[in-house]
Every structure is written in C-alpha cells, then in structure tokens.
Amino acid sequence: MESSVSTPALNAAAKSYQSKMTNPFVFWFAMLFKLPSAAFWGLKVKTLTMEKCEVTIPYSWKSQNPFKSIYFAALAGAGELSTGALCQLTQAGKGKFSMLVVDFKAEFLKKSDQKITFTCDQGLELNELIDSLAPQDTGTMTLVSTGKNKSGEVVAKFYVTWSFKRKS
C-alpha cells in the first residue's frame, strides 16, 4: 500500500541534527554528557531520516544481564532512542517544543543474545502532528519501536507515548 504523504525536505537545522546523530564520534561524545548509559551500552544510530530511525545495540558484557541476554533496560533505552531521535528530527528548525514520555509499554518476545536493531518508521505521521501544533498547543503520539535480531526475528516491541507542546 502506498502512502499519500510525501516526504518533507530536511531544513538546515534538521540536516545538522541528522549529521550529528549519525556521526559515530559526535553521537558518542554527545551521549557521554547527555545520556551516559547510551554511550556505555554502545548504542548507535544506524539510520535517521524523516521516515524512520534505526538504532542498534550490541550484545556485549556492557549490555548483558546474568542470564546471557541483553538487559531489558538497555533494550528499552535503544527502543526509546529510536523514537526520541525521530521526534527531535521532526521538530528541528520549527521552533521551540517541550516533549516528554507520558507512557511506555513493552513486549519481550524472544531472547536477545545478539546485536539488535530497533526501528521506528512513523516519521511522516509524526511530522504531520508536529506541523499541526500551533503555539501553546499540545499533542500526543504513540510511537512503536520494533527490535529485530540479525535473522529478522522480532525480539521486543516498545510503545512510547510522547507528549509535545509547541512553545510560543
């Protein structure tokens, strides 16, 4: 099924944000100061476009639990980052916003004992919501991040509900 929504062009602020988030050194350095657990776990932004965001988390001693799988909080961090980075990209260059996670649900479906890639592909829908907000308006949206292993099997799904308020 084809989408009737066209992909919006990235403005200068969005291009800058995209460049920083997809540059491994800049991303790691920013996470070290803003979100140290993401730097420690080894999260990486693989893809960041107006359509989707993909974040990977390695299976390593830094991300695993005593049961030889990736710690649920590390998985949740990767899932949340794939939605949050998409939120930041859609807001870039469009004024000031506040955003907050107001609900979070998780499904763990399979053991995560290898590198996992989390994908949120609701960027176009999210962009429509952000563009529809007038100053002082609020809106919410539940973004779904699906984590898959190298074989393409779904290991976890996160449902992150974000609240947005456009500031004047």
**For position 4, what pLDDT does the model report?**
55
Please state whether the predicted TM-score (pTM) of the whole model is above 0.85.
yes
Describe the crossing of helices 72-91 and 12-22 by its angle, rounded to 10 degrees.
160
Q: Could you tell me the pLDDT band of residue 8, with boundaries at 50, 70 and 90?
A: confident
pLDDT per position as a tens digit, 67-116: 999 999 999 999 999 999 999 999 999 999 999 999 999 999 999 999 99
Q: What CA–CA distances, in Å, run from 5 to 50, 61, 104, 154?
A: 12, 42, 27, 27
Q: Which residue in the block uniquely carries the two structure tokens 């292993």?
A: 149
Which range (4-13, 66-75, 115-124, 158-167) has the least confidence?
4-13
Query: What is the CB-side half-sphere exposure of residue 43 using CA atoms within 13 A?
Result: 30
What residues does each domain of the chain span?
Answer: 12-166
d(CA 35, CA 15): 22
CATH superfamily of domain region 12-166: Hotdog Thioesterase (3.10.129.10)
Task: Collapse the DSSP code of 90 into the 3-class scheme (helix H, G, I; strand E, B; otherwise coil) and give the result.
Answer: helix
